[in-house]
Structure 1
Amino acid sequence: MKRMKIVWFLMALILIFMYAKKTADTSIQNIDILGGFGYDIKKSTKGTIEKTFSYSVYNFKSSASTKEGLFSSSSPSNTEAKGAESSVVVGRGTNLGEIRQNRQLTLNKNIVPGIHRVTLFSEEKAVNGIEDIINLEFTNGKVNDRSTAVVCKGKAEDMLRINIPGYQSSSDYIEGVIVNSTSYNFLAKEYNLLDIYLKMDTEGRNLVMPYVETKDKIIELAGMAVFKDDKMAYVLPMNEARIMNMMRENNVKGILTMQDNSKNYLNYDTVVKRKIKCNKVNEKYNFEVNLSFNGDIIENTMFKDINEKEQKQISKLMERKIEEQCNRFISNMQNKYKMDFLDLGIYAVAKYGRDTGANWNEVVSNSNITVKVKVKVDKFGMGHYGS
């Protein structure tokens, strides 16, 4: 028995050595590392749909780096990565097999998946539905289900081709924009493929994703795309999206502004937490949205020499202003959009049961929704000045 253990141990060492030698001989410039995915569609006059998959890949350059100097070998094992740039490889077809075949006709390296940063849906693709892509991604065990998912205006292929100064690819830039907007625009921490997969088929929920567009050759976060089932229904501009995110998400960060004119304004850097209460009376649902704000005044030209009594008055004023903004949004949500942007349906489902056949967008649009706001200001002195 002891001899067999020794034999298995030696065989394991040999296999590890052989694998390490094989991977060492494969230099980074001989592979393409995937940075981002893009999905587009094109409808023909005959009714067929051509799918376009765009792959943003990092292309690594190399330089000789051996001790032999002029007598160094030019083999891949004697080169090291010097730098990287990106390019976009496109596959077109009516099905996955055809797309991969066409993609490889112009690709001289193997793509390494699993670490891409962004999954980009064109607006046209999002409107026509993304369920096929989500199902496709989750049948591939190598796909990075934590990649940031966004909807873009125009073609995803075109956005992936944009060169951003200081970035190796537009994928890196887009990911940074979304991740860092969580501190100022009440965005949730994650908008990724796994998040889509979990929310898309959850009763009482509607999927949302960041919406980006290009302005003056710069990619910017322009709003939030709201989905009904797997199809994009609306794009909310950022002024509405901030209010939606504030009431939809829990424990998110952002900045609220109260402004009378160009000279008198107040900026409140805050974290907001929400709690939802739900009850049903005579088959009509009632929802109470409780929002708790805690933060600092970072800029203030509205109030001078604030004492303790005035601090309480300012907090009450801010509560009233925030409630007004929320109520205006809810009115638009129920009467203009007629959708549940706030995921209130899941609270009704949790309390009164699933699979009732209810259309939660209709139910919430015809429900009584009240908002209660509590504001706490930790610091009034930051940015306190007057003219």
Structure 2
Amino acid sequence: MKHIKIIIFIFPIILLSGCYDRVPIERTSVVSGSAQDIIDDNLLSASLEYLIFTGKEKISKTVSTQTGQSIYDIFNKRLLEAKKTYLTGTIRSLIISEDRARYGIDDIIDSFMRDQERNINTTVVVCKDKAVDIIKIEPKESNTMSSEIEDLIKSSYQTNFNQRDTNIKDLYNMRFQEGRRIMLPYIEKYKDTVKISSVAVFEKDKMIFKIPSEDVKYVNLIRNHDTLGYLNFSGEKPLESFDIYCKVNRKVKADIKNDNINYNIKITLNSLIKENSINKFKEMDKKTIDTIQDTYSKELKSKLESIIEKYKSNYGVDVFDIQKYAVAKLGKDKADYVSSKFKDSNINIEVKIKINSIGRVIR
């Protein structure tokens, strides 16, 4: 009986101790997104999109902007004005303006990785114009614009061979793994919402250019493994089209001979036929399928070779994430050497379109 009384006495203490130093939800502001801008290259600007719980199941959304000399200078000023407690570990999206990205983002990476209260699964994007203008757009399909941007990026893997997500962890790995560079989704306003329009390319922590929209699909195809996308091949007549939905299997090998670096990329596209309005391919027997695979594999290879030559010779920048294979062979202390040799390297690509399904039989 004595033991039971002790248990009854201790149990409420254990149960309620987890509430110590906690704040009621009515006194909190749940931060959903962060927008990072820069003013005249000498003053940082950060905007937070957050939800406020006002009781009786009422939730309001607002955006607060503050300026300062550093991320935590801004945060400190914000706390002096705050009337509710900020929950920063709930950030869904980090939106960085192009100007801020070109200035440099090492401080952003450092603050997210160093501060244990920050969410390292936060989705990261670069945007055209001011990031605060993006985060202030009224959401159409969610409670906050940050949530919509997160959903946009996470669902985009179904097309254009985009990688499945780009979060703080990915950003950190791209920044500090030898032989790699940061590449982030680039968004912009579209009608009354936003869309992915490009990919931002960085040198160390600074954005240097964005990939033109017409090249994005092909750069992604070469760069990303296990991704999905549509490919369209035009026929001889107007509006004749052959369309396939593909899953990419990418393998890369790097060979170093006589101070020359050779990259061999093998791309296999496991494909489903989605549309075929080309008359000469109407009969889908084995011979026709073999012809299709061979014809369009050669056409795609030619396109990818021109993309490789463009970014290797004109930009001298590895947007294909292949230098890491040479660094793995030579050692991480040779990363600068590998980078300096990229423009003169040989990049060979092998392309194989493999038709796995012709779709439902309709005739």
- TM-score of the two chains, using structure 2 as the length reference: 0.92
- Asked if the contact 1:296–1:382 (Cα under 8 Å) also holds between the matched residues in 2, the reply is no
Shift of 1:218: 2.1
One-letter amino acid matched to 1:281: K
Match of 1:297 in 2: 273
Higher mean displacement: 188-197 or 10-19: 10-19
Which residue pairs with 1:124 in the alignment?
99
Match for 1:293: what amino acid? L
Give runs of aligned pairs for residues 163-178 of structure 1, distance below 5 A.
163-178=138-153
Q: Distance in 2 between matches of 1:85 and 1:321?
A: 53
1:17 has 2:21 as partner: no
* 1:365 paired residue number: 343
Does the 8 Å contact 1:299/1:384 carry over to 2? no
User: CA separation of 1:38/1:297 partners in 2, compared to 1, >3 Å: closer, same or farther?
Assistant: same
User: 1:226-237 residue pairs with structure 2 within 5 A?
Assistant: 226-237=201-212
Counterpart-to-counterpart distance in 2, 1:230 and 1:323: 32
User: Which residue number in structure 2 is paired with residue 77 of structure 1?
Assistant: none
- What is the count of residue pairs matched by the alignment? 359
Task: Say whether 1:57 aligns with 2:50.
Answer: yes
Distance in 2 between residues matched to 1:352 and 1:140, nearest whole Å: 34
**Contact between 2:272 and 2:356, CA under 8 Å: does it hold in 1?**
yes
Larger radius of gyration: 1
Closer, same or farther: CA 338–29 of 1 in aligned 2, 3 Å: same
Q: Is the 8 A contact 1:56 1:88 kept in 2?
A: yes
Q: In 2, Cα distance between the equivalents of 1:253 and 1:375?
A: 13
Match of 2:356 in 1: 378
Letter in 1 for 2:103: N
| Kept in 1: contact 2:31–2:86 (CA 8 A) | yes
Whole-angstrom CA distance in 1 between matches of 2:335 and 2:116: 34
Gap runs ≥5 in structure 2: none
> 121, 130, 134: which is aligned to 1:159?
134
- The verdict on how the C-alpha distance between 1:350 and 1:18 changes in structure 2, with shifts beyond 3 A counting, is closer
Q: Percent of counterpart pairs with the same letter? A: 26
Equivalence for 1:99: 74
- What's 2:114 paired with? 139
- Cα separation, 2, equivalents of 1:269 and 1:10: 64
What is aligned with 1:333?
311
1:341–1:113 distance in 2 versus 1, CA, 3 Å = same
- Give the equivalent residue in structure 1 for 2:32: 35
Cα distance 1:307–1:89, how it changes in 2: closer, same or farther (>3 A)? same
Q: Cα gap change, 1:12/1:352 in structure 2, threshold over 3 Å: closer, same or farther?
A: farther
User: Which whole-Å CA distance do the structure 2 matches of 1:247 and 1:14 have between them?
Assistant: 59
- Offset of residue 132 of structure 1: 1.1
The two structures, once aligned, show a CA RMSD in angstroms of 2.4
What letter corresponds to residue 60 of structure 1 in structure 2?
F
What amino acid is aligned across from residue 381 of structure 1 in structure 2? G
Quick check: 1:297–1:382 contact (8 Å CA) kept in 2? no
Match of 2:259 in 1: 283
Give the 3 Å change call, closer, same or farther, for CA 27–229 of structure 1 in structure 2. same
Alignment-mate amino acid for residue 97 of structure 2: S
Match of residue 68 from structure 1: none
Whether contact under 8 Å (1:339, 1:362) holds in the other structure is: no
Is the alpha carbon distance of 1:381 and 1:19 closer, same or farther for their aligned partners in structure 2, counting shifts above 3 Å? closer
Rounded to whole Å, the distance in 1 between the matches of 2:195 and 2:60 is 22
TM-score scaled by structure 1?
0.86
Are residue 263 (structure 1) and residue 235 (structure 2) matched? no
Instruction: Answer yes or no: is 1:254 the counterpart of 2:247.
Output: no
